Structure 1
Amino acid sequence: MRRFAIKLSKSPTIVRCWTGGGLRYSSSAIDRARALHFGSNHAPFPSRLSRRNFATISSATKIPSNSELTSPGEEAFVRERRVTFQRYNVNPYPHFDTSKLETFLHLSDFRERFERKYENGNRDPSIVVTVVGRVTAKRVAGKASMFLDITRDGHRLQVISNSKSYDDAEEHAKWANVLLTGDIIEVTGFPGSTRTNELSIIATRMNLLAPCLRRIPKTQGLEDAELRLRIRPLALLASADLSNNLRLRSRIVSYMRRYFDTEGFLEVETPVLSLKAGGANAKPFVTWNNGLDAEMRMRVAPELYLKQLVVGGLDRVYEIGKCFRNEGIDNTHLPEFTSCEFYEAYADLNKVMTRTEKLLHGLVQEVTGSAEVAADFEDLSSPKINFTPPFRRIHVVDTLSAAIGEPLPLPSESCTESKTLSLLIPILDRHHVALPKPLTLARVYDKLIERFIEHDCFQPTFLVGHPGVMCPLARRDPTLPATTLRFELFVKGFELANAYAELNDPLEQHTRFVAQFAARTTNPGSTSIVEQDEEVAPPDEDFVRALEYGLPPTGGWGLGIDRLVMILTGAKGIRDVVTFAAVRPVLRQQIQQ
């Protein structure tokens, strides 16, 4: 049994509480829950705690309030419902046994089977079926009739209950008084239609499977953005767009799996928790493994593991899974996100581009019915995003040189990285581009791309010809050694995929790892305290050793699935396309002061 303890200070604004599972609650929430479920005379929780297990929330802590969370009105609503259940002798949580039901149909199957078979109020009492769903609307016409809308998995059906068709008139009256919007019910009856030809099930028997003890907004959507994130079940019930996004997301992931499987790729799983974070520049989450007595990291990307599998003879591999980066949160970034990465032996960058165009073009047509997607789903006149190949290509170095009005400074044998950085700083100042922190050459190039190129990438666009210092894992371009064989795919102004012709020379890879790690503590041209780039990982010696066994010429990329779903659903932010998003851990004020 989970241990539970709570201790209150004399001040009502200070709460100290602890559970064995690590969860924290406000005192008012705990007291109400205890009174509601166990009665007001229930013995208090034990309060013997060690000081180190306390979590203190003081009056200075900013706690947002919201009247839609539990309030005295909500508590009264719950009490009234429980009284109603007792008055009509209703078990609100009965055992559900499908073996005792009549023909049990999903709402979609009911529609498929009986759609357009009944018109002008016709009915067929000889066909008896049972359906289940959540009540989304209730309309009572006097004492004799009740109309319910029920939904399940996005499908809707009307329920008609009246004293004439119901087996027991008193039972009909009972459910008319008991059932409310949000309740989950079981309905047995026969198919028919209204005089306006709306397909319905005419109830002969009903049962409550689970009541809704909180009010659900009647209007479509949940305007409170905070509630939408923190109470996800409510958001799903109140906002059809969120559940539709998740359904489309599932179709997108399924298509990607089918594509790679059909193309002969092997789906694999690589470690999510390991001694090293992976192949991308990002700050990892760090934890401690007691079994290994070692510091562990959540992966920021599966890249290095996947390429080691290619070394091992698995020529075509892909993985769809979670990555974790301990960075900021905005409309296109979350600390936990889903990526798809694939690597293919004997594929150059052009082949990877062609595969990318084919995959995305087919996917968009499959899930939307067209190669074009609206940029703004709320504005039908907005421009379309067209995924028809070939995608546009922009050469980074050439475009930046044109934008700044002079050749872009690049490192070379005669120009060190430190000197190149000193040449770039005045250019950023002239064009009013803020210096990045920490100040590194790779981050300066990234700032220039953000300033002069990204905004011009509304349609699917490949950015190619990046400066080599930005891509320590990519091969150099033999025609311009200061750049690498890499592309970034941008759509709607943000990065969707990042691809390399993979570097397979172990000596050069080790040299780049060491140089990159050394550069993270370098701050040329500044007399201020040196800032470390926490996104740069130490050299991965295990990966370098794997390259010594021989990595064939390989190409591949990583693609952000969350961002792809954003584009294809028209979602305003990345948190609208995931099931549960990270939110700031705060306690809400449960009762209005």
Structure 2
Amino acid sequence: MTLNDQQRARLEKLRELRLRGIDPYPPHSGRSMTTHEAVQRFLSVESELAGEPDPECVTLAGRVVSIRDMGRTVFSHIRDGAGTIQLYLRREIVGDEQLAWFKRYVDLNDFVEADGHLFRTRTGEVSLQVTALRLLAKAINPPPDKWHGLTDVETRYRQRYVDLMTNPETRQVFVTRAQVIRAIRRYLDERGFLEVETPTLQPVYGGAAARPFTTYYHALDQTYYLRISDELYLKRLIVGGYDRVYEICKDFRNEGIDARHNPEFTMLEFYVAYADYRDIMQMCEELIVYAAQEALGTLQIPWGTQTIDLTPPWTRLSLRDAILRYTGIDFFQITDQPSLYARAMELGADVRPDTVWPRILDELLRTFVRPNLIQPTFLYDYPVALSPLAKRKPDDPRLVERFQLFVGGLELANAYSELNDPLDQLFRFLEQARDRARGDEEAMPIDEDFINALMYGMPPTGGFGLGIDRLVMLLTNRQTIREVILFPQLRSKPEPLGLTEDLRPYLDLVPGVQGSLDVDDSSATSTVESTDGTDTELLQRR
């Protein structure tokens, strides 16, 4: 990266400001209200003003997003987190020097603070008649092209700060995300749930079928895993005596990245003692309806070219019937791996010859069933082999009491009547170990401490997991998961930005530092002389 002409011009303005004794990055702002509060205040008193400015002086602050120089008058808009308001600078009010200073030193993207009086312009816009203006932060980088904004997708993800700065739609996505999470917490808190925190680093991972991220815990001299789920820890809390617990947390799965999967994602999991999957299905429906109403005020959700209706009750369909409907395969009849693999290949499924029976079935669900489930649909009653932590159905031990929720072709939620028989749980773990030996990298390891917990007794329990990111995708009509994650993971660029060398000649603008900063790449640390003569150690360059 090489500094462009605009950046160099702004750095020179920075130098001039320093020479004039003006701090371009003062430590304090005297803002008295937000832009939204200012507009609301003016509207509340406008009828009493008879067309005159509000006599009360207010102080507003924000990022400069437009400048229109009319000679004796300058119109400028500033934006803060609450909204946008116009600044009106007139020579007869602010004076020649202040107006000239604004024109010379203030650029788009700068943060400024303005004192003045609220009024309405001839064009009808509520504005601030500025009496004094100060710089709060000088921006070295100009904004993207004002007509096109930041449109490059990769840059939007890599530099989310610029995306948020320039695209109001992006900011609204994450406002909605926050509203959804607040609504979920409110729903659960009002129903007697206890919010808890469980370990992110775990000595034995479990609770889902996934390959984990590993790390080395030096203090314990042991390999640990980033959690793929918090399920087994939350169920330990049910054993411990809590009746209702939940956690909203980050999970990590070392898998591929696509439009619906990100290795780091946010999950809600909750567990309810003395409940089963039918109870949880009802709660799931209520929870998502509540979150949608709170965040959007409607249950009619645009999704691509379609509209999803979240109005309950939602469709309920057994997994066996769903797969039979969309593939013609009855997994009660095809119970061995070679036969199921052959049928899957006939249908065009993407499976390897060594794929175990449960993974083939899961691929059939993913490829042929899920894309057809646009309106909210519960699929229930899954094969035991596909659900190692769920309770068997009393009337059919081949199946477990489990459901998944699909909306818009997205898998949003997974839930089941929790397995509380320690011997059955151990048997399922051993089956998973067999599948691992056959090449299934996502099969769970045996967690003997969890078996020990179940041996103390766990009441009948219903458990639930909801993908927060996918729910936000649905409610904001975003087709890729990266659109709803503030800072998604991306492959590192081969070349660094190069800012260090480009900005090095301007480091003399840093107050309190004298002389140049010479850093030898082979040196671990370097020092510079400060104004009080002491040495300041710099961060290592690695």
TM-score in same-fold range (> 0.5): yes
Q: 1:471 aligns with which of 387, 406, 409?
A: 387
Q: 2:220 aligns with which of 280, 292, 308?
A: 292
TM-score (norm 1): 0.80
Matched, 1:276 2:192: no
Matched, 1:396 2:328: no
Q: 1:387 aligns with which of 310, 331, 337?
A: 310
Matched, 1:195 2:122: yes
Task: Please name the residue that 1:308 is paired with.
Answer: 236
Task: Please name the residue that 1:138 is paired with.
Answer: 67
**RMSD of the TM alignment (CA)?**
2.0
Counterpart CA distance in 2 for 1:238 and 1:244 is: 12
Equivalent residue letter for 2:137: A
Matched, 1:184 2:111: yes
Task: Please name the residue that 1:578 is paired with.
Answer: 485
Change (3 A) 1:83 1:533: same
Equivalent residue letter for 1:76: R
Counterpart CA distance in 2 for 1:535 and 1:108 is: 51
Change (3 A) 1:436 1:366: farther
Q: 2:39 aligns with which of 111, 134, 156?
A: 111
Change (3 A) 1:348 1:221: farther
SS state at 1:164 partner: helix
**What are the ranges of 5 or more consecutive residues in structure 1 without an aligned counterpart?**
1-68, 377-381, 412-416, 523-531
Counterpart CA distance in 2 for 1:357 and 1:437 is: 38
Q: 1:214 aligns with which of 141, 146, 152?
A: 141
Report 1:86-485 matches (<5 A): 90-96=22-28, 98=30, 104-115=32-43, 117-118=45-46, 122-124=51-53, 126-142=55-71, 144-166=72-94, 168-217=95-144, 218-219=146-147, 221-376=149-304, 382-405=305-328, 407-409=330-332, 420-436=336-352, 438-485=354-401
Equivalent residue letter for 1:587: P
SS state at 1:459 partner: coil
Counterpart CA distance in 2 for 1:236 and 1:444 is: 41
Question: Is the 1:220–1:238 Cα contact (8 Å) retained in structure 2?
Answer: no
Q: Give CA deviations for 1:523-548 in whole Å, capped at 9, x if unaligned.
A: xxxxxxxxx22222311111111111
Counterpart CA distance in 1 for 2:33 and 2:169 is: 25
Q: Give CA deviations for 1:137-183 in whole Å, capped at 9, x if unaligned.
A: 111111x11111111114111110111222x3311221122111101
Counterpart CA distance in 1 for 2:78 and 2:177 is: 24
Task: Please name the residue that 1:5 is paired with.
Answer: none
Question: Is the 1:188–1:204 Cα contact (8 Å) retained in structure 2?
Answer: yes
Q: Shift of the alpha carbon at 1:451?
A: 2.8
Task: Please name the residue that 1:79 is paired with.
Answer: 11
Counterpart CA distance in 1 for 2:257 and 2:450 is: 30
SS state at 1:466 partner: strand
Q: Give CA deviations for 1:190-241 in whole Å, capped at 9, x if unaligned.
A: 1101012211111000000001110111136411112111122111112112
Question: Is the 1:189–1:201 Cα contact (8 Å) retained in structure 2?
Answer: yes
Counterpart CA distance in 1 for 2:404 and 2:467 is: 12
SS state at 1:284 partner: coil
Q: Give CA deviations for 1:552-593 in whole Å, capped at 9, x if unaligned.
A: 1111211110111111111232112122111112233758xx
Counterpart CA distance in 2 for 1:83 and 1:263 is: 59
Q: Shift of the alpha carbon at 1:371?
A: 1.0
- 4+ runs deviating over 6 angstroms: none
Change (3 A) 1:569 1:437: farther
Question: Is the 1:436–1:443 Cα contact (8 Å) retained in structure 2?
Answer: no
Change (3 A) 1:371 1:466: same
Deviates more, 1:206-215 or 1:434-443: 434-443
Task: Please name the residue that 1:561 is paired with.
Answer: 468
Change (3 A) 1:553 1:125: closer
Question: Is the 1:566–1:572 Cα contact (8 Å) retained in structure 2?
Answer: yes
Matched, 1:537 2:444: yes
Question: Is the 2:42–2:54 Cα contact (8 Å) retained in structure 1?
Answer: no
Q: Give CA deviations for 1:19-46 in whole Å, capped at 9, x if unaligned.
A: xxxxxxxxxxxxxxxxxxxxxxxxxxxx
Counterpart CA distance in 1 for 2:148 and 2:471 is: 25
Counterpart CA distance in 2 for 1:127 and 1:263 is: 47
Identity percentage over the alignment? 38
Change (3 A) 1:243 1:349: same
Q: Shift of the alpha carbon at 1:75?
A: 4.5
Equivalent residue letter for 1:241: E
Q: Shift of the alpha carbon at 1:512?
A: 0.7
Q: Shift of the alpha carbon at 1:398?
A: 2.1
Counterpart CA distance in 2 for 1:548 and 1:186 is: 64
Task: Please name the residue that 1:500 is paired with.
Answer: 416
SS state at 1:453 partner: helix
Task: Please name the residue that 2:428 is paired with.
Answer: 512
Counterpart CA distance in 2 for 1:230 and 1:256 is: 29
Deviates more, 1:567-576 or 1:490-499: 567-576
Question: Is the 2:34–2:82 Cα contact (8 Å) retained in structure 1?
Answer: no
SS state at 1:204 partner: strand
Equivalent residue letter for 2:51: N
Question: Is the 1:342–1:557 Cα contact (8 Å) retained in structure 2?
Answer: yes
Task: Please name the residue that 2:494 is paired with.
Answer: 587
